[in-house]
A and B are shown apart, each in its own frame.
Chain A
């Protein structure tokens, strides 16, 4: 189980995250945030593996990644 949280009000719509997602689930929304950008988001959370690559390339720290901790 994993989840990505997009702080959409911080997103400048640069799309760098959309190009690196191995599952191709990061998409740009049609809505406009307060800064006037179309923010990125993920609708298909069930497909997210929590790899964090989208967060790694995001220049604006829009993305937080959560993952189920594995039992050791």
Chain B
């Protein structure tokens, strides 16, 4: 019999430290599968964030840089400008990219920086223990919004894909999810397109991945995928927000 599903080469054979049911692991695998399929493992440089995914540098089996909190798109810019023929990407959570690093990812997109941002939106700060994220939904309870996020106090969840769409430098922007088999298949397609957009020199690409955080949501993994489906997707609609003209990738 032939193995039809096993660990991608670009992912080291070590256990993830993530909590049970956390879909970071799925996102990691999809990125690694895409890198394998594009045959770029030896020419890719990843930039790890601060947050749960800081350890991506231990999991991906290719060159990795650990960036300061939120700064991965700036670090990736430095790498890409020195090595324009390499594939450079960031892997960032919502606190990292959409709060402290808002300036960096927006301006990387403004410059049309030929990098790819993999943006994990799980509506909460994971590693620091479940505080409000910029993407925390209204009414969602977190450690720092114990009565639920109140727009009077905390404003509204940030919609990263919608924000990027009008920017001319952003060539590919998509929002996907990893909570169901169908969504995971779509997510991989989007990730692959984002990397292809970079490889073809078309500009900045970002894939927002709606992901679960059962531990900090206070739900079981099965409840968490349901919660994502029922609560996150209505506020953060899935789909391709910006695509290059037909035929270029």
Contacts and interface: CB of A to CB of B under 8 A. Distances in A.
The answer to whether A and B touch in the complex, with CB atoms under 8 Å apart, is yes
Nearest to A60: B25
Contact of B2 (A12, A37, A60, A66): A66
B29 A16 contact: no
A61 B21 contact: no
Contacts, number: 78
Interface residues of A, number: 30
A20 B26 CA distance: 15
Contact of B26 (A12, A35, A59, A63): A59
Interface in B1-52: 1-7, 11, 15-16, 18-26, 29
A56 B20 CA distance: 16
A41 B26 CA distance: 19
Contacts of B184: 56-57
B4 A12 contact: no
B185 interface: yes
Contacts of A69: 1-2
A16 B21 contact: yes
Interface in A47-69: 50, 52-53, 55-61, 63-69
Most chain-B CB neighbours within 10 Å: which of A10, A16, A20, A59?
Answer: A59
A55 B5 CA distance: 7
Given A16-B21, A16-B225, A19-B222, A63 B16 contact: no
Contacts of B2: 66-69
> For chain B, which range describes its interface: under 10, 10 to 19, 20 to 34, or 35 or more residues?
20 to 34
A27 interface: no
B20 A52 contact: no
Nearest to B214: A14
A61 B59 CA distance: 12
Nearest to B184: A56
A53 B181 contact: yes
Interface of A: 1-3, 10, 12-16, 19-20, 35, 37, 50, 52-53, 55-61, 63-69
What 7 A-B pairs come out closest when comparing CB atoms?
A59-B25, A14-B21, A12-B20, A65-B5, A66-B1, A14-B221, A14-B20
Interface of B: 1-7, 11, 15-16, 18-26, 29, 180-181, 184-185, 214, 220-222, 225
21 contacts: A12-B19, A14-B222, A15-B21, A20-B180, A52-B4, A55-B5, A56-B185, A58-B26, A59-B23, A59-B25, A59-B26, A60-B18, A60-B25, A61-B7, A61-B25, A66-B1, A67-B4, A68-B1, A68-B2, A69-B1, A69-B2
